[in-house]
Amino acid sequence: MPEDFVIARNPDGDSTLPYLLRIPLGPGGIILKARDTWPRTAKIYCHRVDAWPEDAEVVERVPVRSCVRRGAAIDLVLDRGRENRSQLVFARVRGGRPAIFWQTARTAKQARPAVDLPTARAFGQAGLEIVVDSHERYAYGFPDQQVTTVRGRLAAGDYGIVRGGTVLAAVERKSLADLVSSLTTGKLKYQLTELASLPRAAVVVEDRYSAVFRLEHVRPALVADMLGECQVRWPMVPIVFCETRKLAQEWTYRFLAAASVGAEEERAGSEAVARLAAGAPLAPAPPTAAQVRVWARQQGLPVSAKGRVPQEVVAAYLADRDG
């Protein structure tokens, strides 16, 4: 389980960012200073901090359900009913200066990621290079897109994005007949296993899903069940029906272009997080009265069911816990 998310007052009285944030990501956590304790009405500007001050006054300490970095952002989910989902985005402001913004779904529209997100065709990537597996027959040519295709050996899939000898994403192309054959023979399961080992992968089918229920030489329900089973066992490898070969080619192009951008965001996010200072280990959270009462009863110490717990009992509990 992740450590707690901690908010403290910034002891630096001259700073325009009066709060400190400790995000439980990585071995020592990430330390930032911020303008406020939560992005309620607008995104909050944050800045790096070299270290967590020993004299920082803790304002709030909340258990964390999830803290995961995805590309140029950190998704933070707190274990409480309200104000529990937020995101820290590594962005660039005017002039190319790096910045960090803390936002929620309500304030996310204004955030800009750490790389220039393209808006033109296929994320603005002119000259995208797609590797076509050397065994692929009747390969897509992508004549309507700004794509360079090269033949090569792919460990999985028929079309892929390769950087530095590493396959970043791949798409397995299937006609409906090929899909049915690979399902009934079990071949597709091996292909999905190989695709699932890649950072991003998908299977594209050159037909409609409704065509499955018009099959004559195999029970349609059997094929539908097998497709459902495959998606449950390999949820990270979607099987996408694209109606026609042309639409399947277009979808493949868009998917691989998005994967190329995603890989760049992942690289930029890794570098941005690596530049942030790690904090020292957190001290244990103060015990609750309920925890102390349970311990005291187990030790045979007299303690009331309500009201304040005597300080000597709390001190004994802490000595036993930390000793």
pLDDT tens-digit map of 182-205: 999 999 999 999 999 999 999 999
Calpha distance 276→51 (Å, rounded): 10
pLDDT at 1 > cutoff 60: no
Indicate whether 110 and 127 sit together in one domain: no
Contact 140, 249 (CB under 8 A): yes
Calpha distance 260→252 (Å, rounded): 12
pLDDT at 114 > cutoff 70: no
Q: Which of 173, 104, 170, 163 is nearest to 139 (CA)?
A: 173
Residue % of the chain over a pLDDT of 70: 93
Lowest mean pLDDT among 117-126, 224-233, 285-294: 117-126
Q: Can you give the residue range of the structural domain that contains 168? A: 121-272
Q: Which of 29, 87, 105 is nearest to 273 (CA)?
A: 29
Note whether residue 282 is domain-resident.
Answer: no
Calpha distance 179→206 (Å, rounded): 10
The confidence band for 107, taking pLDDT boundaries of 50, 70 and 90, is confident
Contacts of 30 (CB under 8 A, 6+ apart): 22, 23, 74, 273, 276, 277, 278, 279
Indicate whether 86 and 18 sit together in one domain: yes
Q: Which of 207, 262, 263 is nearest to 239 (CA)?
A: 207
The confidence band for 212, taking pLDDT boundaries of 50, 70 and 90, is very high
Note whether residue 277 is domain-resident.
Answer: no
Indicate whether 195 and 265 sit together in one domain: yes
Which pTM does this prediction carry? 0.59
pLDDT at 7 > cutoff 90: yes
At 62 the pLDDT is 93
| Residue 119, phi then psi, degrees to nearest 5 | -120, -15
Calpha distance 310→47 (Å, rounded): 41
Query: What is the dihedral sign for C-alpha 4, 5, 8, 10?
Result: positive
Give tens-digit pLDDT for 133-152.
Answer: 999 988 998 887 888 899 99
Question: Per 3-state DSSP, what percentage of the chain is helix, strand, and coil (rounded to 5)?
Answer: 35, 30, 40
Strand intervals (E) in the chain? 5-9, 19-23, 30-34, 44-48, 57-62, 64-70, 73-78, 85-92, 98-103, 128-133, 147-152, 159-163, 166-174, 200-205, 239-241
pLDDT: which is higher, 309 or 230: 230
Indicate whether 310 and 229 sit together in one domain: no
Q: Which of 57, 91, 97, 60 is nearest to 73 (CA)?
A: 91
Indicate whether 89 and 171 sit together in one domain: no
CATH number at residue 314: 4.10.320.10
Last residue of a domain, one of 58, 89, 114: 114
Note whether residue 86 is domain-resident.
Answer: yes
pLDDT at 34 > cutoff 80: yes
What secondary structure letter does DSSP report for 114? S
Last residue of a domain, one of 92, 114, 136: 114
Contacts of 171 (CB under 8 A, 6+ apart): 157, 158, 159, 160, 201, 202, 203, 204, 252, 255, 256
At 305 the pLDDT is 85
Calpha distance 289→316 (Å, rounded): 13
Indicate whether 126 and 109 sit together in one domain: no
At 126 the pLDDT is 67
Total count of domains within the chain: 3
Neighbours of 139 (CB within 10 A): 17
- Show the tokens assigned to 31: 């330390």
pLDDT at 99 > cutoff 50: yes
Last residue of a domain, one of 83, 114, 145: 114
Indicate whether 176 and 82 sit together in one domain: no
Note whether residue 284 is domain-resident.
Answer: no
CATH number at residue 146: 3.40.50.10130
At 179 the pLDDT is 95
Indicate whether 125 and 264 sit together in one domain: yes
| Collapsed DSSP state (helix, strand, coil) of residue 174 | strand
CA distance readout (Å), 294 to 15, 301, 307, 314, 317: 43, 10, 14, 12, 10
Indicate whether 95 and 212 sit together in one domain: no
Indicate whether 223 and 98 sit together in one domain: no
pLDDT at 115 > cutoff 50: no
Calpha distance 36→58 (Å, rounded): 14
Across all residues in the chain, what is the average pLDDT?
Answer: 87
Note whether residue 280 is domain-resident.
Answer: no
Note whether residue 128 is domain-resident.
Answer: yes
Indicate whether 141 and 60 sit together in one domain: no
Whose structure tokens read 């992968």?
201
At 124 the pLDDT is 62
Calpha distance 197→237 (Å, rounded): 10
Q: Among the ranges 64-73, 173-182, 290-299, which has the highest mean pLDDT value? A: 173-182
Indicate whether 91 and 220 sit together in one domain: no
Note whether residue 279 is domain-resident.
Answer: no
Calpha distance 251→156 (Å, rounded): 18
At 146 the pLDDT is 81
Note whether residue 281 is domain-resident.
Answer: no
